Amino acid sequence: MSSRQEKEELQEELAMAIDLRSLEHVEKALEKGADPSRVDVWGTSLLTPLDLAIKEGVKEKDESTLDIIQALAQAVPSKVCRQVAKNTLTRMKRTSQNPSNPYDRSIPTMDRTRKICRLLLSAAQERDEDFHHKTQPTPRSTVGTWKALLFSEDFSDVTFVFDSTDDVLYAHKCVLAASSNYFAAYFKGPWGKLSQHKSGTWKTDVPYPVMRAILAYIYTGDLDEVVLLEPQQLGDSLAIAVQYQLKDLQDYIEAAMKKAMSLSSVKETLLMAHLHDLSGLKNACFDFIRRNAAEALFVPEITSIAQEYPDLWSETAMAVSGRKRPREDSD
């Protein structure tokens, strides 16, 4: 039998052991030299023996179990490795705090659990580093090309003009349309029909510094935090990102709003989230109010929502109290 055939049979043996969820057979196949990274069985079937190995590793001092865990950890995506480590620590904490659970609360058991989690996280980091090593960086010439296009009047076919300043910004329809469904739809529709666009002019009420930062982000991916993430500008920046359907930029701004959330800003943030139907940001506002209920429910600016937006206040009250929203009757 050729060496290649032997390797293929070993891989089949390991795949079958994983499919049968047999830790014993997985161990034997690994000892013979099977490579878990080449197994065409993913998801829960691969995680089951990994989970079994973790449970065995927590209970036993046998280092061979750790070798199995490491081998299997190297065969699953890094994101999965991190989640398994998190679940393992959560399970240890939950079971150790439950008096009715026969969990070994000894220091050696706790130490083995933490060692296993460090092993999982280390495997995830190695896979990430290997991925980034293999991924070629964007050539400097490409970066230079996009920076040269940014704000260049040469070959531009869109000129943004502003109400509050005589400044102009030059752009290119093909670039804007490729980056945003909003621009793509606009150029296919109203752009050629409205007289104001006949010369390529686009009059906008977006402030010049903000529009300049938006175009820089579209062309180069550079985020001007001073302009777009300045606390007083966050609301306007979010509205523009939503309008132009720039999802990545929207995510950045939402994250900044969550980080900057305070008793004085939570109402404005909640109203923005409600207006644009941003459930993640809205839930973050609910969580903030719930965590700070002792103060928040006595801030007039926050409680005024009850009079100004009764439906939103009702939703807020339900979320803060931990009650689920009632299901709406279908027509």
Taking only the tens place, the pLDDT of each residue in 109-167 is: 666 676 777 777 777 776 565 545 444 555 667 778 888 999 999 999 999 999 878 89
Q: Among 76, 105, 134, give the residue marking a domain's end.
A: 134
Here the tokens at position 238 are 């979010």
Looking at the chain, the number of H-run helices and the number of E-run strands are 19, 3
Q: Could you tell me the pLDDT band of residue 231, with boundaries at 50, 70 and 90?
A: confident
Residue 35 C-alpha from the chain's centroid: 31
Here the tokens at position 294 are 């002792």
109 & 229 share domain: no
145 & 207 share domain: yes
Cβ 50 vs Cβ 69: under 8 Å: yes
Enclosing domain of residue 46: 3-134
**What per-residue confidence (pLDDT) applies to 226?**
79
123 & 171 share domain: no
* Domain contains 331: no
* Domain contains 104: yes
CA-based torsion, 245, 247, 249, 253: positive or negative: positive
Cβ 109 vs Cβ 95: under 8 Å: no
Cβ 218 vs Cβ 249: under 8 Å: no
* The pLDDT of residue 290 is above 70: yes
* Domain contains 329: no
Number of domains in the chain: 2
Here the tokens at position 155 are 């070959």
| pLDDT-wise least confident of 41-55, 91-105, 193-207, 229-243 | 41-55
77 & 150 share domain: no
298 & 227 share domain: yes
Cβ 113 vs Cβ 89: under 8 Å: yes
* Domain contains 111: yes
Q: Could you tell me the pLDDT band of residue 295, with boundaries at 50, 70 and 90?
A: very high
**What per-residue confidence (pLDDT) applies to 329?**
40
Cβ 217 vs Cβ 223: under 8 Å: yes
**What per-residue confidence (pLDDT) applies to 168?**
94
Q: What's the N-to-C CA distance of the chain in angstroms? A: 69
Question: Of residues 314 and 17, which shows the higher confidence score?
Answer: 314
Compute the distance between CA of residue 201 and CA of residue 160 in angstroms, rounded to an integer.
6
* The pLDDT of residue 254 is above 80: yes
* Domain contains 240: yes
Q: Among 134, 155, 179, give the residue marking a domain's end.
A: 134
**What per-residue confidence (pLDDT) applies to 27?**
64
* Domain contains 212: yes
Q: Could you give the dihedral angle defined by the CA atoms of residues 166, 171, 176 and 178, in that order, rounded to the nearest 10 degrees?
A: 180
Q: Could you tell me the pLDDT band of residue 43, with boundaries at 50, 70 and 90?
A: very low
Compute the distance between CA of residue 94 and CA of residue 77 in angstroms, rounded to an integer.
26
* Domain contains 309: yes
DSSP label of 329: P
Q: Among 67, 100, 134, give the residue marking a domain's end.
A: 134
Q: Could you tell me the pLDDT band of residue 328, with boundaries at 50, 70 and 90?
A: very low
Cβ 81 vs Cβ 123: under 8 Å: yes
**What per-residue confidence (pLDDT) applies to 117?**
73
148 & 279 share domain: yes
Q: Could you give the dihedral angle defined by the CA atoms of residues 49, 54, 56 and 57, in that order, rounded to the nearest 10 degrees?
A: 140
* Domain contains 326: no
For the chain, give the mean pLDDT.
76
